[in-house]
């Protein structure tokens, strides 16, 4: 009997019948309740009599038209009682509402969460591209800073306002090209350090007589 058939059987039976020892072809209905609960929700407490009506009610409220993923089909299963709460939100995940897709996203953000899982594919952590939020933020900040610095450099170059340090990043030919474009004086035979100093002073070049 597959999972859907088990659910349909329990949904067609009354709680009283199940709790009073009813069976299906010799198998106690309560055994199916435990099997379904473990596959769809989490490991049930088989010795907790007070919890049984709740287990039955949960199963009888399942919409079998929705996609139901059984234990054998799911790649990721969380340990009974384990919960992952999403910081800054009211969202949380347990084995009851976990999907394989959500499990992989949670593990990518924090690989230490693997300790909360009872089942996952072999070498799952190696195959998943684990991301470090702090590293991503640092990389983004660095890229933005580099972009801003390049924009500032281009703006200063166009305006003829390059500083000594900015000029020092250019080659001799590029420095002379910049100086010629803005008509700044320099000695054509000057070495780079002297050339940078001369051009950064922004002295106007003398016109040819």
The length of the chain is: 209
Burial class (CB in 10 A: 0-12, 13-18, 19+), 93: buried
Please check the confidence at residue 72 and state whether its pLDDT lies above 70: no
User: Contact at 8 Å (CB) between 101 and 143?
Assistant: no
**pLDDT (average), residues 148-152:** 93
Radius of gyration in angstroms for the set of CA atoms belonging to the chain, rounded to a whole number: 35
Q: What is the mean pLDDT of residues 174-194?
A: 95
What confidence category does residue 66 fall into, taking pLDDT thresholds of 50, 70 and 90? Answer: low
Closest CA to 4 of 57, 67, 58, 56: 67
- Residues 120-149: what's their mean pLDDT? 79
More confident site: 94 or 28:
28
pLDDT at 134 over 90: no
Q: Residue 92: pLDDT band by 50, 70, 90 thresholds?
A: confident
pTM for the predicted model, two decimal places: 0.39
């Amino acid at each position: 009997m597959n999972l859907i058939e088990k659910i349909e059987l329990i949904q067609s039976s009354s709680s009283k019948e199940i709790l009073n020892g009813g069976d299906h072809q010799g198998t106690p209905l309560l055994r199916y309740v435990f099997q379904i609960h473990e596959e769809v929700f989490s490991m049930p407490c088989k010795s907790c009599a007070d919890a049984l009506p709740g287990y039955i009610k949960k199963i009888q409220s399942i919409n079998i038209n929705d996609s139901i993923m059984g234990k054998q089909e799911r790649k990721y299963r969380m340990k009974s009682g384990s919960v992952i709460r999403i910081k800054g939100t009211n969202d949380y995940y347990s084995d009851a509402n976990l999907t394989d897709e959500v499990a992989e996203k949670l593990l990518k953000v924090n690989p230490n969460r693997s300790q909360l899982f009872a089942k996952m594919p072999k070498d799952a952590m190696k195959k998943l591209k684990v991301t470090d939020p702090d590293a991503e933020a640092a990389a983004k900040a660095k890229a933005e800073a580099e972009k801003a610095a390049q924009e500032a450099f281009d703006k200063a170059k166009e305006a003829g306002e390059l500083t000594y340090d900015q000029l020092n990043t250019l080659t001799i030919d590029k420095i002379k090209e910049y100086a010629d474009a803005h008509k700044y004086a320099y000695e054509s035979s000057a070495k780079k350090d002297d050339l940078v100093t001369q051009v950064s002073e922004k002295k106007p070049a003398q016109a040819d007589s």
